[in-house]
Amino acid sequence: MSGHHAMPAGDRPGIGPPLWLLAELTYRCPLQCPYCSNPLDFAQTQQELTTEEWVRVLRQGREMGAAQLGFSGGEPLVRQDLPELIAEARQLGYYTNLITSGLGLTATKVNAFRDAGLDHIQVSFQASDPELNNAVAGSRKAYDQKLAMARAVKEAGYPMVLNFVIHRHNIHQMEDIISLCERLGADYVELATCQYYGWAFENREGLMPSKAQLEKAEAEVNSYRKRLTSSGSAMKLIFVTPDYYEERPKACMNGWGSLFLTVAPDGTALPCHSARLLPIEFPNIRESSLHSIWYDSPGFNHYRGDSWMPEPCRSCDEKDKDFGGCRCQAYLLTGNADNADPVCGKSPHHDRILAARKAADHATAGLEELTYRNADNSRLFFRG
Amino acid sequence: MAVGMKRIPKLRPGFRFQWEPAQNAYVLLYPEGMVRLNDSAGAVLKEVDGQRNVADIVALLEQQFPDAGSLSEDVSDFLKDAEQQHWILFT
Ligand code: SF4
Ligand code: SF4
């Protein structure tokens, strides 16, 4: 999110309101993407929140100032109360985004959601052709369904946002992907290179593109972008490159507990959707109000500000720019979430990133060797 | 190049303009994004309704801000910028 002003003050000095609320309605999903950001042990999740509990979350969030609302998952369409939640959200004044695989969607639902006040549907694809798409998704019928639903979304008058997660097995398809989006009449195309959390971290070796692959893809995107501009097309291409090839980390979530609040299917409140993997206790909306969770809980205050930082971040003059990077990445790669994100060239653990880059130059694993995100594999992770 | 006075701006499909008390500002909401508008941008976009042309909007704003002098250039510049940002289009 970008603002033309400095962010407003919230109810506590130095802490702004959560302008962005992500409602992960469920971990259930018919697909099995090997880069899914859901927790590895998602199958252990007990008791999803009820409709009443979600309505309470939406009201409390809106009162605190949240304006952007994402419904995601898992696959949010498996929740039967989705139309009800959309209507409530719209009535509260949220801008509502539905982030879906398209599976389980129908043209009738697309129209009903619009009538209930949904602002935008983002359909995710796995590749530009059916064969690869379905292999990555772990479903034979996924691609045709996605195409049909993308068309239905367009017809219903929504802005069309198509999302592709990019990795070493589809990164050669940039041109085809963008031209598919152009044919479908997309307004925004997100080409998001995998971020290595959750299942994607387990599968990193089999997903991470090599430097050469990445450079080729970037060149293709840039030249396509030029063509779009000169033909007067308004289609926007957003290419998110992997931070593993950077020397400075990203300003993760714009700072811990600064704008984003995620509520997981069981009511756990998180500063970002992957924070669940950290050894920190996070509050649950079944036990506290969203207001006290955001402003007062130890979980949300844990990495606010910079007094928690060890070296090299502590004395670094760039700490206001990137907040030391991503806590989850620091934890996954160094075993201690306080450390500088190893993506940073100043991190004493930067060699782990260099090793991953080197591995990506020599990786040979095929798609069939990846661990797919499904309940059986999830239970294996839980047993450890 | 200035924007023609007879042209009619409207928000792009999927864009919503609304007042946000928590931010004490008008904002523009769109797929997965939000822009907090400064006072003058908010004042102009408030009058963009898909019916009024640029001249109407200028006249309305000059009425609201009598001390500001002629506003046609400012409004035209802003709308041009807003079009380039893909916030609005001209019908
Ligand atoms: S990434 Fe794939 S498996 Fe995970 S929730 Fe999304 S569609 Fe389902
Ligand atoms: S040392 Fe820490 S604060 Fe400085 S650039 Fe690296 S990650 Fe950012």
| Assigned domain for B56 exists | yes
Ligand 2 geometric centre to CA of A315 (Å): 9
**Residue A225 structure tokens:** 């972008």
| Ligand 2 center to B7 CA (angstroms) | 49
In a domain, B4, yes or no: no
- Lowest-confidence pick of A8-22, A245-259, A318-332: A8-22
Q: Which backbone phi and psi does A360 adopt, to 5 degrees?
A: -65, -25
What is the reported pLDDT for A4? 41
For residue B85, what is the domain's CATH number?
A: 1.10.10.1150
User: What is the model's pLDDT at position A2?
Assistant: 38
The answer to the question of residue B52 being in a domain is yes
Residue B3 lies in a domain: no
- If one counts the domains in chain B, the total is 1
A103 CA to centre of ligand 1 in angstroms:
10
Q: Are A153 and A121 in contact (CB under 8 A)?
A: yes
Domain membership flag for residue B1: no
User: CA A205, CA A169: separation in Å to the nearest integer?
Assistant: 12
Q: Which residue from A27, A28, A35, A38 has its CB within 8 A of the most atoms of ligand 1, so it is best to mutate? A: A38
Name the more confident of B8 and A364: B8
pLDDT digits (tens, 9 = 90+) for A35-51: 788 878 787 777 999 99
pLDDT digits (tens, 9 = 90+) for A143-153: 899 899 999 99
Tell me which amino acid residue A129 is.
Answer: D
Q: Min CA distance, B10 vs chain A (Å)? A: 15
Query: Is residue B28, in this structure, part of any structural domain at all?
Result: yes
In degrees rounded to 5, what are phi and psi of residue A236? -100, 130
Q: Tell me, yes or no, if B25 comes closer than 8 A to chain A by beta carbon.
A: yes
- Mean pLDDT across the stretch A193-200? 84
Asked if residue B2 is part of any domain, the answer here is: no
| Residue ranges making up the domain that contains B21 | 9-90
Confirm whether B86 is domain-assigned. yes
pLDDT tens digit string along A251-307?
988 999 999 999 999 999 999 988 999 999 999 999 999 999 999 999 999 999 999
**Residue A257: HSE in the Cβ half-sphere, 13 Å Cα cutoff:** 23
Q: How many CA atoms lie within 13 A of B86 on its CB side?
A: 15
B27-35 average pLDDT score: 93
Ligand number, closest to the Cα atom of A163: 1
The ipTM, to two decimals, is 0.90
> β-strands A269-270, A260-263: how paired?
antiparallel
Mutating to test ligand 1, I would choose from A40, A42, A45, A75 the residue with most ligand atoms within 8 A of its C-beta, which is: A75
